[in-house]
Structure 1
Amino acid sequence: MTGQLHGKVALVAGATRGAGRGIAVELGAAGATVYGTGRSTREQRSDYDRPETIEDTAELVTAAGGTGIPVRVDHTDPDQVRDLVRRIEAEQGRLDVLVNDLGGENLMDWNRPIWEQDLDKGLRRLRVGIEAHMITAHFALKLLSKRPGGLVVELTDGTAEVHEQYYRSDCGAFFDIAKTSMHRLARAEGEELREFGGTAVSLTPGWLRSEMMLEHFGVTEENWRESATAPEGFGIAESPAYIGRAVVALAADPDVARWNTQSLSSGYLAKVYGFTDVDGSQPDAWRYIQEVEWPGNPGDPADYR
């Protein structure tokens, strides 16, 4: 995919770590200029209190072949987002790809019904997981719509089909509402961008080998299969590069409008476009989850890679 997006400008909102970082780096590997935003910098950590920074991400983007530009932005603050988009327009004159990867995974309240969850934490999740997406779209889509071919990707967790069939009781109502809302937001954006030649989709990774997940299971990207504590389903896990390659495939597709308003997954798009994860496999996590993990059926994750 080297050079396919040369001359294109992308904004990855929430690029500090995880899927956002993987997407930013793969866009860079395809030649794009990538504005990567977040709240964790080398001078100031966010409330996540983790070591990853937006400067690190920008350097990885540039090392991959693109141009990485870190910008500290709190996307729940409309003034900061407005200033960001004004800066992109002043410096680049265009925006071709918007990736909304704003979630708040430190706001989880596991395995509790709504009446036992922390209300402040839950409302904060809705603010980060829905309101921040809409604030970003409000300012960024005006610039993106000025040129035909623009792409908006709303990151979520699970496809629309999965969300129609299952309720994630382990994650709870605030999580469920935030993630399912991304399908409807992408639908609205796609309908409104259609006359301007733009496309919007909701997109989910599978079981992601993020920095936080690897740390949780006591492994690294180099030895992730050797965890002594991870469940069997961890064998279907995918690297952040995989979802990044899914976004690049969409952004480089001259017929990307065929996907407008749809709900997509990294595993499904890998089969369509032919890209692979870093190990050369094509994990289809959601098929494994639906056919094996959640119903408790026998099955080997290796058969779904």
Structure 2
Amino acid sequence: MTNDTPQRTPLAGTIALVAGATRGAGRAIAVQLGAAGATVYVTGRTTRTRVSEVGRPTETVEETAELVTAAGGEGIAVPTDHLVPDEVRALVTRIDRERGRLDVLVNSLWGGDHLIPWGRKMWDTDLEQGLRMLELGVRSHVITSSCALPLLVRNPGGLVVEMTDGTSEYNARFRENFYFDLAKNAPLRMAFSLGEDLKEVGGTAVALSPGYLRSEMMLDIYGVTEENWRDAVAREPHFAIAESPAYVGRAVAALAADPGRHRWNGRSLSSGQLAREYGFTDTDGSRPDGWAYFIDVVHGGKDATADDYR
């Protein structure tokens, strides 16, 4: 699938659940699935009347659903706390009642960036703060898969995407904080294990990571917008490799539309890797490969620039 054919709807009739679609990668994935014609249930904790602990009231599940519909799909907002099993069960029951199937599950649940104590040792990190990161980034994924997979496996060919930060190759390095390291490595192993479970029922599970993501929060940190994001490169040179959230959204849409996607089962993937495979680009027409850049240049000392990896 390429992004220069906006009228194509290869996912027409597909029912997807993007868990954690309030902002960032989750929102973009939902929108790109909608652009390909899917019906997308979008969940999160921030609504127009309630704000989650992340504290970003302007990004809501209702807005995400509207963006999905505007893109050409059908967006359905279901406010859900994925740490509450009964809420997730009610969500899945609703999808079953209204659609009778689930074809794509995207676990894009996190919301723990504000908790990360960069530079602190494990024993200097507040225990409750660390455990909260594991709840948000690990337990939420487990609860959601446990509740949703019985519906997804009812029909063969279902796709599970475990969103994380970093590929298996990159995450062989220490991710700077004990709890963050665990939270971002766990989805890699979840995808591998779920891939084993799904083999016999014709399903596919993958772990997927964007590169240096220009999320709403990251743009705010650098004081830029999506239109002038390159102004932040003067402050952070590695931001030159940054990618828009739409890039990883296109990666998931391409996976979902690929009848041969089972060849990826259990594997760790990245947006840059799938862009080469499926031929899509980021919104500026480039194909950034953020993790290759960090492995080769930032950590490997290769004499190259971000432009060489776009």
TM-score tier, shorter chain, comes to over 0.9
Query: Alpha-carbon deviations, 1:46-65, whole Å to 9, x = none?
Result: 11111200011011000000
Q: 2:91 maps to what in 1?
A: 84
Selected match of 1:121 from 123, 126, 129: 129
1:300 Cα offset (Å): 1.2
Structure 2 unpaired stretches of 5+: 2-7
Q: Does the Cα contact within 8 Å between 2:104 and 2:256 map onto a contact in 1?
A: yes
Question: Which of 57, 65, 75 matches 1:58?
Answer: 65
Match of 1:288 in 2: 293
Name the stretch that deviates more: 228-237 or 259-268. Answer: 228-237
Q: Partner of 2:227 in structure 1?
A: 222
Structure 1 residue runs of 5 or longer lacking an equivalent are none
1:186 has 2:211 as partner: no
Superposition deviation, residue 296 in structure 1: 4.5
Cα separation, 1, equivalents of 2:70 and 2:60: 16
Backbone CA RMSD of aligned residues: 1.1
TM, length-normalised to structure 1: 0.97
Aligned residue in 2 for 1:27: 33
Preserved contact between residue 4 and residue 30 of structure 1 (Cα < 8 Å): yes
Q: Which residue is equivalent to 2:16? A: 10
Q: Aligned letter for 1:75?
A: H
1:250 correspondence with 2:248: no
1:295 Cα deviation after fit: 3.7
CA contact (8 A) 1:38 1:74 kept: yes
Counterpart of 2:31, as a letter, is V
How many equivalent residue pairs? 302
Q: Pick from 198, 202, 207: which aligns with 2:203? A: 198
State whether residues 217 and 229 of structure 1, in contact with CA within 8 Å, keep that contact through their aligned partners in structure 2.
no
Determine the structure 1 residue equivalent to 2:4.
none
Q: 3-state SS of the aligned residue for 1:160?
A: coil
Distance 2:198 2:246 in 1: 27
Matched-pair contact (CA < 8 Å) for 2:157–2:204:
yes
Secondary structure at the aligned position of 1:16 is classed as: coil
Task: Give the Cα separation in 1 of the matches to 2:285 and 2:233.
Answer: 24
Provide the residue aligned with 1:37 in structure 2. Answer: 43
User: In structure 2, what is the equivalent of residue 155 of structure 1?
Assistant: 163
Q: Give the TM-score normalised by the residue count of structure 2.
A: 0.95
Name which of 139, 163, 182 aligns with 1:131.
Answer: 139
Give secondary structure in 1 for the equivalent of 2:288.
Answer: coil
Q: Which of 68, 85, 94 pairs up with 2:75?
A: 68
User: Which residue number corresponds to residue 246 of structure 2?
Assistant: 241
Q: 1-side partners of 2:286 and 2:279: how far apart? A: 10
Deviates more, 1:209-218 or 1:113-122: 113-122
The 8 Å contact of residues 109 and 141 in structure 2, kept in 1 or not, is answered as yes
Identity %: 60
Which residue does 2:107 correspond to in 1?
A: 100
Q: Which amino acid aligns with 1:112?
A: R
1:247-294 per-position Cα deviation (integer Å, ceiling 9, x unaligned): 011100001111100110100010011110001100000010011123
